[in-house]
Structure 1
Amino acid sequence: MAQITGKAFDLKLFTRVFRYVAPYKRVFYFALFLTIFLAALGVIRPVLIGKAIDVYVINNDPTGLLYLMLIVVGILFVEAGAQFYQTYYSNWLGQSVTIDLRSILFNHITSFKLKYFDKTAIGTLVTRCISDIETISQIFSQGLLSIMGDLLKLIVVIGVMFAINWQLTLYSLVPIPILIFAMIIFKNAIKRSFQQVRTQVSRLNAFAQEHIVGMSIVQVFNRESKEKEKFVNINRSHRKAHIKSIWAYSIFFPVVEILSAVSLSLLIWWGVGGVIEGEVTMGDLVMFILFIHMLFRPIRQLADRFNVLQMGMVGSERVFAVLDTESHIQDSGTLNSGIQGSIKFRNVWFAYQDEDWVLKDLSFEAKPGETIAFVGATGAGKSSIVNLINRFYEFQKGEILIDDTPVQDYDLEYLRNEIAVVLQDVFLFSDTVANNISLQNPAITREEIVKAAEAVGASTFIEKLPGSYDYDVKERGGMLSVGQRQLISFIRAYVYNPKILILDEATSSVDTESELMIQNAIDRLTENRTSIVIAHRLSTIQKADRIIVLEKGRIIEQGTHQQLLANEGHYKKLIDMQFQERS
């Protein structure tokens, strides 16, 4: 990922963020117009109040004073209305950019290779998708436009002050150089603290997500107190980063207040003398007092605006670092029809890292409708074969062909639609049984779901659930047993009617009774389609057309169950070992 610089305002970075404003440019320009309008409108009230004192109060003209005050009240209503629309459309713009950018980021993440997720904490990606993008929306809703408005207000106020009385203005602005120096120090302190804050937020999210998902392990091994200590330490680091920013604010705000008071004191000290000597009118003095308040209020608000802009810049850098990550499978294939189901591996070499080969010169063939089973010790390369067929990972050498066509020539979406995978660790979403089967694919009807459940032999247990197919299985299917979750995954595979079926250790975690039901489901699923079965329980693959025994990424034996038993080789030893374990 790119290095995070944490600049308060990076023009190149902002230009990139601004591209996402293009669909809403009319709203942006309207909000910008209102920002400029409010900056100009704000100075009218002090000027009118000053004139009211000099013209109507001094000359004892209550009628003229009433009319002028009505004008001031009218301006207040106009200003309030403009402020409402400016705030509303600025926030609307920010949220619109957020929804677009978040969708683009999520879509980009879903295209990553599985290797990326092996190295990146999920909690970190959650932070990028949620809180970091939320800070980008605030660039428009509370950051940039508000800063522009405050700066314009300062420029207009100072310009009007000089136009009315340059001497009073100079006295009023004596503390400004000190204030500018204080803002520079404040800016540098805030920049460092906010970089640390975002880093600690990512650490918190990653730790919390990982440990909540793995709570069963934490409790089984009695790690609650130890993990609590780790969390407390991370939380303390998060607090420390926030306190640094609070420390900067706690110094800066009093400095602004003191300088504001000094400016007001200098104004009154010189202005009262000017009024006595007739060089300054009372109206001008009151007007300048109001101007001082208008001058220092935006300066104080700029600190908060700077906070928002700083966090938005840091958040956008982090989001774009993910968007700039090239870790997705190249999808240059164009074939999107005609898969019959034959699979060929020709001299395939594969490693997850450098040349630490998991598969070594692997070659085998599965004809359409055949069932090929892979057995071997952990780390032999069985699951790697599955990942390569689906193109979750890319192999380094050799060829993988489907129907004599290189797997890379197929459109990736079409290829994966034609391959169904049933994993050992079944993942179910917090949703209904029906939606977990169809994955909310509108092309799959309720009738098809029910027929698939009946075909697999799982309709009986589903219909006994409260709500039947509308039963909410909760997060990760926690309301169902392991066997029930596995059966739902079989229905899911069946209803998509793939040409190629992959079963990766699909019966290793279920009890004997569930295994019998699942074995019947496997027999139905593998009927008339090419099937790759990775088995831990060797009793489930005896009907396979061919069994391939792997060891350290190479084929050491292959044949039918009976042929391999007759050879009395490695497969026979595995069978004997499992038989002894069960007895």
Structure 2
Amino acid sequence: MSNGKRPQGRPGGGHPGGPPGMSMPGEKPKNFKATFKRLLRYLKPRQNRLIAVFIAAILSTVFMIVGPKIMGMAITELFEGAYNKLTGTGTGIDFGTIGQILMLLAGLYVFSSLFNYIQQYVMSTVAQDTVYDLRQDVNKKLEKLPLHYFDSRPNGEILSRMTNDIDTIGSTLQQSLTQFITSVVTLVGIIIMMLTISPWLTLIAFVSLPLSLFVIQPILKRSQKQFANQQKSLGELNGHIEEMYTGHSVVKAFGHEKKAVAQFDEVNEELYEAGRRAQFISGIIQPLMTLIGNFSYVVISVVGGILVTQRAISIGDIQAFITYSKQFTQPIMQTANIANIIQSTVAAAERVFELLDEEEEKKESTALHLERAKGEVVFENVDFGYGEDLLIEDMNIQVAPGQTVAIVGPTGAGKTTLINLLMRFYELNGGKIEIDGLDTRDMSRNELRQNFGMVLQDTWLFNGTIRDNIAYGKNGATEEEIVAAADAAHADHFIRTLPDGYDTVLNEEASNISQGQKQLLTIARAILADPPIMILDEATSSVDTRTEIFIQKAMNRLMEGRTSFVIAHRLSTIKDADLILVMDKGNVIEQGTHTELLEQDGFYADLYNSQFDEKVAI
């Protein structure tokens, strides 16, 4: 899909470059000063190494700055020796002195490189140690955040804060901080060296700087506008490509290939035009700066030549000064770049600190201990709401050990919320939940959740072998236990038909097996865990009818002697439940066995009969 023109930038990765020597302004922090101070606190434990970096950067830069001046001395010695020989006023060129000067110059450059290596090495350890601490803090924080934090934010945003934002901080510390120190020292050093050679020539060099800024400022503004358009078009193109790639089967099914190609060509053309304008306008900046710089060099050379003829300055100093004047603008441009980078870095740090400042789960009590529950569950006057309005009010439920409790009701009735409260993913607004007579708030969350096994409608499998995914349910599970759990979940047969059997590696999205097979593996994992209380949230929704019958039998065996909570939409699957809770708008409006509820001829009876009416209508 192409119109023959190449866009500026790669779809799916990387940002096109800005104007030469300039960086595009990034996201600005809301509170720069406070965030910057907080970031510095992470550097405080490494202040000795930072001082070493600072000293090494100064020494490396100073040795490099002195180089042109020393080189100028060699040129002056060579020129004066040759001149004296021609005029017969001296002995000629003193190669011994020139050799000593060049040896000194070589030594300076070696020492400069050595200190540059030291600063880079030490700074890389400082940066990585700081990033390591940040990642540790973020990881610990994520473990303490309540479930509603993850429910209320996209996963990509949370991952971005832990990966992209922290990586931005690390790269800035490792590269931009030392570059900033070097640029400042270079700028100050060059100005001092230029002033020691000639204040008048320094004044000429200074005049060219505001002239350059005056000329490029309007061009820079137009360039940034075009780069913003380029980024916008690149984002649209990336979005279109991702959409068409992930939904390619739907595009083909509806015959929209030509429409997709036409849309791609349109966005691609916009990106091409925006990129062409941005690169053209930004490309003018460097030649203009070079032109102004060359005028400056001409003036410096003419004035310097006059000063040489008047013996006010040596020819080597003129050569050194021209070298310094060429280097003069570079640290200024680097400092401007780093100022933008630091803005983006502090903005990234602010996002990380926002996560670290999020309210954590309430501190848990560990006064009571629950080793292996018998399975008695009591909801007593439970109140709960996600916000100010209560979703559940004064809920009372009693479940005896070993009972199978089915929870039914329309979408949004509060079925999953009830399970979340049971496992303390959310804290109650009022009332209490007891397991075996113990208040769940008086025990550790980890100890509580070890007594539960869960099989959810949305399967979760990680990138690894099938064996590892099943064994996730129990630490130190043996091969026999894994195979037995898979067999009980009716997964053993399909696993053995795979080329690598239990060693088959599931990809990141486990898309190399079917949705039903994924569900079988999660059920096998729950069977292996052997918890005293089971939670099944539409556990058989993704399997065919025949497999569902097998799984139901396996589940019936699994649920023997243990308390089970089953969320079901197909009411035919929960006829044999010991207790059915009918929920609507956060309240249990009916409860009893299947037969009792049908005899009541209420909400459950209507719900049950409507499913069969729909089947008949179909």
Bin the TM-score by the shorter chain: 0.7 to 0.9
1:548 is paired with a residue whose SS is: strand
**Structure 2 letter corresponding to 1:388:** L
Instruction: Measure how far apart 1:288 and its partner are.
Output: 1.0
Letter in 2 for 1:12: A
The CA deviation at 1:147 is 1.0
Structure with greater Cα Rg? 2
- Opposite residue 543 of structure 1, the aligned amino acid is D
| Pairing 1:518-533 to 2, within 5 Å after superposition | 518-533=551-566
**Counterpart of 2:432 in 1: which secondary structure?**
strand
Higher deviation after alignment, 264-273 or 104-113: 104-113
Match of 1:490, SS state, is helix
Which residue of structure 1 aligns with residue 77 of structure 2? 55
**Structure 1 residue aligned with 2:383, among 349, 353, 360?**
349
Q: Tell me, in whole angstroms, the C-alpha distance in 2 between the residues paired with 1:247 and 1:324.
A: 45
SS at 1:400's partner residue? strand
- SS for the counterpart of 2:460 is coil
Question: In structure 2, do the counterparts of structure 1 residues 320 and 266 end up closer, same or farther at CA, with 3 Å as the change threshold?
Answer: farther
Q: Which residue of 2 aligns with 1:123?
A: 156
CA distance in 2, matches of 1:224, 1:347: 58
Among residues 589, 597, 603, which one is paired with 1:556 in the alignment?
589
1:73 aligns with 2:106: yes
Contact 1:124 1:202 in 2 (8 A): no
State the number of aligned residues.
578
Unpaired runs of 5+ in structure 2? 1-25, 82-92
Q: Are positions 1:481 and 2:503 aligned together? A: no
Partner of residue 541, structure 1: 574
Q: Which amino acid aligns with 2:193?
A: V
Deviates more, 1:519-528 or 1:294-303: 294-303
Letter in 2 for 1:163: T
The 2-side partners of 1:531 and 1:222 are apart by 48
Residue 398 of structure 2: SS of its match in structure 1?
strand
* Partner Cα separation in structure 2 for residue 179 and residue 441 of structure 1: 69
Shift of 1:78: 3.0
SS at match of 2:523: helix
Separation in structure 2 between the aligned mates of residue 197 and residue 323 of structure 1, nearest angstrom: 34
1:548 CA drift (Å): 1.4
Q: Per the alignment, in what secondary structure is the counterpart of residue 379 of structure 1?
A: coil
Structure 1 residues 133 and 338: alpha-carbon distance in aligned structure 2, compared to 1, 3 A threshold: same
How far apart, in 1, do the equivalents of 2:42 and 2:146 lie?
26
What is the Cα deviation at residue 254 of structure 1?
Answer: 4.7
Question: What are the within-5 Å matches in structure 2 for residues 62-461 of structure 1?
Answer: 62-109=95-142, 111-178=144-211, 250=283, 253-254=286-287, 256-326=289-359, 328-334=360-366, 335=368, 337-338=370-371, 340=373, 341-355=375-389, 357-439=390-472, 443-461=476-494
Q: Displacement, 1:384?
A: 1.5
Percent sequence identity over aligned pairs:
33
Q: Does the 8 Å contact 1:388/1:394 carry over to 2?
A: yes
> Which letter maps to 1:332?
E
Matches within 5 A, 1:8-19: 10-19=32-41
Give 1:149 deviation, angstroms.
0.8
Q: CA deviation at 1:11?
A: 4.6
Q: Which residue of 2 aligns with 1:516?
A: 549
Task: Say if 2:297 and 2:322, in contact at 8 Å, map to a contact too.
Answer: yes
SS in 2 for 1:42: helix
C-alpha RMSD of matched pairs (Å)? 4.1
- Indicate the residue corresponding to 2:60 in structure 1: 38
d(CA) in 2 for partners of 1:124, 1:223: 32
Asked whether the 8 Å contact 1:375–1:548 carries over to 2, the reply is yes
In 2: Cα distance, 1:368 partner to 1:312 partner: 56
Alpha-carbon distance change, 433 to 387 in structure 1, aligned in 2, over 3 angstroms? same
Aligned-pair distance for 1:250? 4.8
Offset of residue 214 of structure 1: 7.5
| Contact preservation (8 Å) 2:519, 2:542 | no
CA 1:316–1:249 in structure 2 vs 1: closer, same or farther (change >3 Å)? farther
* 1:172/1:266 contact within 8 Å kept: no
Q: Report the alpha carbon displacement of residue 61 of structure 1 after superposing the two structures with TM.
A: 0.9
Residue 549 of structure 1 deviates from its aligned partner by 1.6
- Contact kept? 2:29, 2:350, Cα under 8 Å: no
Task: Tell whether the 8 Å contact from 2:452 to 2:531 is kept in structure 1 after alignment.
Answer: yes
Measured in 1, the distance between the counterparts of 2:343 and 2:253 equals 43
Tell whether the 8 Å contact from 2:172 to 2:345 is kept in structure 1 after alignment.
yes
* Alpha-carbon separation, structure 1, partners of 2:126 and 2:51: 11
Q: Read off the aligned partner of 2:531 and give its amino acid letter.
A: P
Contact 2:371 2:447 in 1 (8 A): no
Partner residue in 1 for 2:21 = none
After the TM superposition, list the runs of 4 or more consecutive aligned residues in structure 1 that deviate by more than 6 angstroms. Answer: 180-248
User: Cα gap change, 1:468/1:69 in structure 2, threshold over 3 Å: closer, same or farther?
Assistant: same
Distance 1:230 1:493, change over 3 A: farther
Distance 1:216 1:413, change over 3 A: farther
Q: Deviations over 1:353-412 (max 9, x none)?
A: 442x44343221222322211112222221221122223334434333333343333322
Q: Using the alignment, how far apart are the partners of 1:349 and 1:227 within structure 2?
A: 51
CA separation in 2, counterparts of 1:64 and 1:78?
21
Distance apart, 1:472 and its partner CA: 1.6
User: How far is the alpha carbon of 1:433 from its aligned partner?
Assistant: 0.9
| More displaced 10-residue stretch of structure 1: 483-492 or 10-19 | 10-19
CA distances 1:256-313 after superposition (whole Å, capped 9, x unpaired): 4344334423322321111111111112211211221232232233344344333323
* Secondary structure in 1 matching 2:395: strand
Give the SS at the match of 2:512: coil
- Per the normalisation by structure 2, the TM-score is 0.80
